[in-house]
A and B are shown apart, each in its own frame.
Chain A
């Protein structure tokens, strides 16, 4: 019924697993701070989905706890986009829009492939469809809302734009048509932004003046502080359980 699993690419499993783990932690930081109760619940639910995906992916690369709690900053290969601080609600939504669109398109392709990620991707693509829908609906509401919400959403989309090109860099062991992925992502995100009365940002998103070397283990300053908080308990009490 199931095909024999091919050799797992640890590099690709780590890259995708780290994306899910780090964004899950960032979204979890909203607990107790979200603007309304429904969003509190929504962001925590999205974080839980991502954590489940991260556990499967990291387990493909090694011991999930060791990988999550005992690696140093330079050993994480997540996109710089997902480690960006939550900012205001608009920044979180812009980050969600950029990432969930990418993840949904990527998982959709992996699910239909012969890759070792197909079983997880087939499962996760259904969860991520809801994340993407959530982000799109909020982008529309904030962009096409009041002057204040429009301006905040515009600022957030511009601020995070330079982190988006990194999503389409090659990852060893991840066999997807990156050019098509990039084109579909750009079409989809541009369409949502236009419907939200926001123009797609014009700044560079790939190339010399864009950010992004997260896949090579280079991270932005806020990531170290996030990791310190995420790993503190496990490092202070090695082997502790409850």
Chain B
């Protein structure tokens, strides 16, 4: 899905992908899997295709500005960052290195999915306990004994969980 053909395009793609995510600065845009393509339109004109994690993701504009700045520093004069929706971004586009960094940063990485549906949940009397095959492990202590507090958290892409072993709350990058 990520395309670049000439050596210069490959280099520009690497540069665009090296920009840190504005909201999760431990991750680069390449690790997040949101830079789709870089195409030269002239000697110093380039078009970048960026895909948002969520349709309403407010970080897209900051990402575009950061990409423009980096490419300008490397000799580009005309930079157009285009937002593309299709094919839709999925948490499966996050690289293995990206997942490792998320966990290190205290965010439980998304599980690799098979269907385009949210993970099914069972509702307990007061809390939401999950009927699951693969657990969301606590990024702090590694315990699999965790519970979902809310499907929505600090940003659109995360859910709020709590570890029942170390009692720490944590964010989980939820599967889409």
Residues of B within 8 A of A127 (CB): 54-55, 156, 176
Residues of A within 8 A of B151 (CB): 42, 130, 133-134
The answer, yes or no, to whether A106 is at the interface (CB within 8 Å) is no
Interface residue SS majority, chain A: helix
Q: In the complex, are the beta carbons of A52 and B57 less than 8 A apart? A: yes
CB-CB nearest in chain B for A54: B56
Q: Which of A103-153 contact B (CB under 8 A)?
A: 118-120, 122-127, 129-130, 133-134, 137, 140-141
Per the bound structure, the CA–CA distance linking A129 and B116 in Å amounts to: 9
CB-CB nearest in chain B for A53: B55
Residues of A within 8 A of B57 (CB): 52
The answer, yes or no, to whether B10 is at the interface (CB within 8 Å) is no
Q: In the complex, are the beta carbons of B152 and A134 less than 8 A apart? A: yes
Q: In the complex, are the beta carbons of B123 and A140 less than 8 A apart? A: yes
The answer, yes or no, to whether B39 is at the interface (CB within 8 Å) is no
The answer, yes or no, to whether A158 is at the interface (CB within 8 Å) is no
Q: In the complex, are the beta carbons of B174 and A126 less than 8 A apart? A: no
Q: In the complex, are the beta carbons of A38 and B56 less than 8 A apart? A: no
| Whole-angstrom distance between the Cβ of B148 and the nearest chain A Cβ | 10
Q: In the complex, are the beta carbons of B87 and A122 less than 8 A apart? A: yes
Known contacts A56-B85, A122-B88; decide if A41 and B55 are in contact (CB<8 Å): no
What is the interface size of chain A, counting residues whose CB is below 8 A from a CB of the partner? 32
Residues of B within 8 A of A45 (CB): 152-153, 156
Per the bound structure, the CA–CA distance linking A41 and B55 in Å amounts to: 17
Per the bound structure, the CA–CA distance linking A141 and B54 in Å amounts to: 28
Partner of B88, one of A41, A126, A141: A126
Q: In the complex, are the beta carbons of B116 and A125 less than 8 A apart? A: yes
CB-CB nearest in chain A for B58: A48
Interface residue SS majority, chain B: loop
A41-72 vs B, Cβ < 8 Å mask (1 yes, 0 no):
11011101111110110000000000000000
Partner of B174, one of A119, A130, A141: A130
CB-CB nearest in chain B for A41: B152
What is the interface size of chain B, counting residues whose CB is below 8 A from a CB of the partner? 29
The answer, yes or no, to whether B160 is at the interface (CB within 8 Å) is yes
Residues of B within 8 A of A51 (CB): 56
A184-198 vs B, Cβ < 8 Å mask (1 yes, 0 no):
000000000000000
Per the bound structure, the CA–CA distance linking A44 and B56 in Å amounts to: 12
CB-CB nearest in chain A for B154: A41
| Whole-angstrom distance between the Cβ of A152 and the nearest chain B Cβ | 18
Per the bound structure, the CA–CA distance linking A125 and B117 in Å amounts to: 9
Q: In the complex, are the beta carbons of B56 and A42 less than 8 A apart? A: no
Per the bound structure, the CA–CA distance linking A157 and B128 in Å amounts to: 23
Q: Which of A42, A55, A123 has the most CB of B within 10 A?
A: A123
CB-CB nearest in chain A for B1: A1
Residues of A within 8 A of B87 (CB): 122
Residues of B within 8 A of A42 (CB): 150-152
CB-CB nearest in chain A for B149: A38
The answer, yes or no, to whether B42 is at the interface (CB within 8 Å) is no
The answer, yes or no, to whether B2 is at the interface (CB within 8 Å) is no
The answer, yes or no, to whether A241 is at the interface (CB within 8 Å) is no
The answer, yes or no, to whether B118 is at the interface (CB within 8 Å) is yes
Residues of B within 8 A of A122 (CB): 85-88
Q: In the complex, are the beta carbons of A52 and B123 less than 8 A apart? A: no
Residues of B within 8 A of A125 (CB): 116
Q: In the complex, are the beta carbons of B55 and A56 less than 8 A apart? A: yes
Q: In the complex, are the beta carbons of B150 and A123 less than 8 A apart? A: no
Provide a sorted-by-A list of 7 A–B residue pairs whose CB atoms are within 8 angstroms: A38-B149, A38-B152, A41-B153, A48-B156, A52-B57, A122-B86, A126-B88
